[in-house]
Structure 1
Amino acid sequence: MRSPIPIYALALTSFALGTAEFAPNGQLSSVSDGFAVSVADAGLITTGFAIGATIGGPLIAAATLRVPHKRLTLVLVSVFLVANVVTAVSPGLLVAVLSRAVAGAVLGTFMGVAVTIASDLVAPARRGRAIALVFSGLTISNVLGVVIGNLAGNASGWRSVFWFVTGLALISLIGLLAVLPRQTGAAAGSSGSVGRALRTGRLWLTYGAMALAYAGLFTMFTYIEPMLQERGGASSGAVVWLLLVFGVGLVLGTHVAGHLADRSIRSTTVTAMIALVVALVAFSLLGTHLVAVVVLLPVLGAAGYGMVPPLQSFAVEIAEVTSPVVSALAAAAFMAGVSLGSAVGGEILRRGGGYEELPLVGAGLTVLGLLVFLSVDRLHGRATAAALLPRPVAELG
């Protein structure tokens, strides 16, 4: 059974947003030179994007809950397009970081709305695959978008990456205008059911697990370009193709995890997190060996992004409602992980730490995320079992 065409349009748009999110990671040295700042400070263009998605995404989703979904997505993509133009022409790091934060806020809101639309267009038994398809745009952007963007960046400078993203945004805008159905933003998820969901402590713990586990990957991946060059001895041209290897892994991981999540959310999540921890530790130990790097990069991509579909599905299961706010908060949690990871990695480097420390610290963060997830799953199981127990009948007087 094929997925509805609008889901593919949403995936195309997430491809554009994903390219904007990740392509700059391969150009940090160029950004550093262009703005005359350190590599750690150049990493703020990633941190700024993530903070925008973390804070701005849920706020915009909540404020636009009753806006028709088609109109909202068109406005969001238009703002995203303008934000990337501003980044491309920014005279200094501050303007670049601020415009990146705006673009990040768009991603956070858009992914929340997109997951809601995709979930509502399919049966619950196919929800994991629908979510995975929407996120496949983000993952494929790491294969095609990041590689093409970085090839352009290597040839014409880091600003050309954002002109490339601007073109992708324009194509996405046309696609959404053509095929996205009219949606009323006042779905069931906009009622008091959302408020009840947001008062559920288990839901917020789930968001915490998302952030911590994802931070583990981005503690090192934010700085993957200088790490590969300084530790692995890769040239700037080779880095692009190593990122392609990483991207292939995450595309496969997201696709497989989406199908497995429809069978078992819990086992899929736990397997992905454990695999990520093992791969991070191995990367720290073997990162100076290029062959090992080539083997480990796709595992890191598959495990890191394999967490996304099951955790998104888990959040919807706990919330017991599909809503842009619930999904935007999930996207914000992942972006909070990006922000946390990049900030932690940057602080390690500022304090004189070596690149080999980043994956080890990241592994520790992912372990924390796994422990939180297991605790939430146990609490959720108890709550579900208690809800199924028959209620006592009052004795007649």
Structure 2
Amino acid sequence: MTSRTPLPIYALALTSFALGTAEFAPNGQLLSVSDGFAVPVADAGLITTGFAVGATIGGPLVAAATLRVPHKRLAVLLVSVFLVANVITALSPTLLAAVISRAVAGVVLGTFMGVAVTIASDLVSAARRGRAIALVFSGLTIANVLGVVIGNLAGNAWGWRSVFWFVTGLAIVSLIGLVAVLPRRTEAGAAQSGSVGTALRTGRLWMTYAAMALAYSGLFTMFTYIEPILQERTGVSSDNVVWLLLVFGVGLVIGTHFAGSFADRSIRATTVTAMIALVGVLVAFSVLDTNLVAVIVLLPLLGAAGYGMVPPLQSFAVEIARVTSPFISALAAASFMAGVSLGSAIGGEILRQRGGYDVLPLVGAGLTMVGLILFLVVTTVHQRVVRATL
């Protein structure tokens, strides 16, 4: 194993950027989608919901069904489907067609991130796994920064369909890169399937997935509603919200990068630090969200702590499973997506019950704390199991 980052990992990161842009960019164009299809904004939001459902449910199912498919062939096939799905979305004559094609694109994201983590993990030594996974996920995090800008600038200039034509262009470039640089080598499907079956019977793995979902839901209990929070609590104009979201995005890119390096030294310490930091920032946000200066300071910390959990938790799932498999990693990605859905649902219910926006960060902090406690229990049990087998 070379100490340099293998070129294929950069190709995987570029592809995850394309997938992430498809996920995040349309969120700023719901009004345009609503006008284009002559439907309520709530219905237009189904293009986001459809993508999330596809990633959460479809991703692991497709990953399970394709365990015997060589990794390079699977990655190329997935991106080809993603490309076609975005073309269909851009040409959709009805909202239903757009939602279905968005769901297909979501399935690709959920499956691809699993196979991408697997390929990246196989290309480096175990001591560099965290950094490799962080680099793959950096595409998603950068898309979270640039996707907001792309979605607003392109959509405002040429309409919401232009967003998906842009993503289609990214998919073409990504596909060329994957075909050119991904190695053909892959593990034997039968051996891998058996190892995965053993891993799925490990209770510690499922407890890890639950910890992922709970900790991540704490972030999205608040962040799902960040736009109205910034406008109503902080007093930021709608035109300036996007720039504060960019500040948040810079933090999550930095957090993901450093978390990967730190995870290679200690998965437990990195994860615990990120979760505790997230709890602290959420509590501080609840108290200080009416102060613009404080919000500008807290937003990048929120991004760094929230997304800093991703690389070490992905690495921990692989460590417990003791096999690098697209299915294992796809389940981890689905757990994070489940956390997004859970947090959004809890935050929405709080608001429906007339709870204030300042309550959301406190509830989120509580959820992340529960995730932290569960993670500590899992790591303690895992350490005992490891010592017992030595």
User: For the residues of structure 1 that align with 2:188 and 2:239, how far apart are their CA atoms?
Assistant: 49
Structure 1, 344-353 or 330-339: larger mean CA deviation? 344-353
Residue identity in the other structure for 1:373 = F
Match in the other structure for 1:348: 350
Deviation at residue 19 of structure 1 after TM alignment: 1.4
Structure 1 residue 196: Cα displacement:
0.6
Alpha-carbon distance, 1:327 to partner: 1.0
Take 2:264 and 2:362, find their aligned partners in 1: how far apart are those partners? 31
Aligned counterpart, 1:245: 247
Give the CA deviation at 1:243.
Answer: 1.8
1:103-122 alignment, distance < 5 Å:
103-122=105-124
Deviations 1:335-380 (CA, angstroms, capped at 9, x unpaired): 1112222233333344444433332222222112111111111111
Residue 314 of structure 1: which of 313, 316, 331 is its match?
316
Q: In structure 1, what is the Cα distance between the partners aligned to 2:187 and 2:50?
A: 29
**Cα distance change of structure 1 residues 246 and 48 upon mapping to structure 2, 3 Å threshold:** same
The equivalent of 1:174 in structure 2 is: 176
Which residue of structure 1 aligns with residue 71 of structure 2? 69
Point out 4+ residue stretches in structure 1 off by more than 6 angstroms: none
Local SS of the residue matching 1:249: helix
Of 214, 217, 227 in structure 1, the residue corresponding to residue 216 of structure 2 is: 214
Q: Percent identity?
A: 81
Query: Shift of the alpha carbon at 1:90?
Result: 4.1
Over residues 19-43 of structure 1, what are the superposed CA-to-partner deviations in whole Å (9 max), with x where a residue is unaligned?
Answer: 122223444555566654355x655
Give me the whole-angstrom Cα distance separating, in 2, the residues matched to 1:97 and 1:343: 20
Q: 1:235 to 1:185 in 2, by over 3 A?
A: farther
Segment of structure 1 superposing worse, 116-125 or 241-250: 241-250
Partner of 1:37: 40
Q: Tell me the TM-score normalised to structure 1 length.
A: 0.90
Measured in 1, the distance between the counterparts of 2:345 and 2:330 equals 22
Which runs of no fewer than 5 residues in structure 1 stay unpaired?
Answer: 389-397
Q: Greater shift after overlay, 3-12 or 211-220?
A: 211-220
1:92 CA drift (Å): 5.3
RMSD: 2.2
Once residues 133 and 113 of structure 1 are traced to their aligned partners in structure 2, the CA distance between those partners, rounded to angstroms, is 14
**Superposition pairs of residues 1-397 of structure 1, within 5 angstroms:** 1-28=3-30, 30-31=32-33, 36-38=39-41, 43-90=45-92, 93-184=95-186, 186=188, 190-388=192-390
Q: Distance in 1 between matches of 2:299 and 2:154?
A: 22
The 1:110–1:160 alpha-carbon spacing in structure 2 relative to 1, beyond 3 Å, is same
**Which of 7-16 and 360-369 deviates more?**
360-369
Structure 2 unaligned runs (5+)?
none
Tell me how far apart the structure 2 counterparts of residues 300 and 369 of structure 1 sit (CA, whole Å). 17
3-state DSSP of counterpart to 1:231: helix
Give the 3-state SS of the residue equivalent to 2:234 in structure 1.
coil
- The answer to whether the 8 A contact 1:211-1:334 is kept is yes
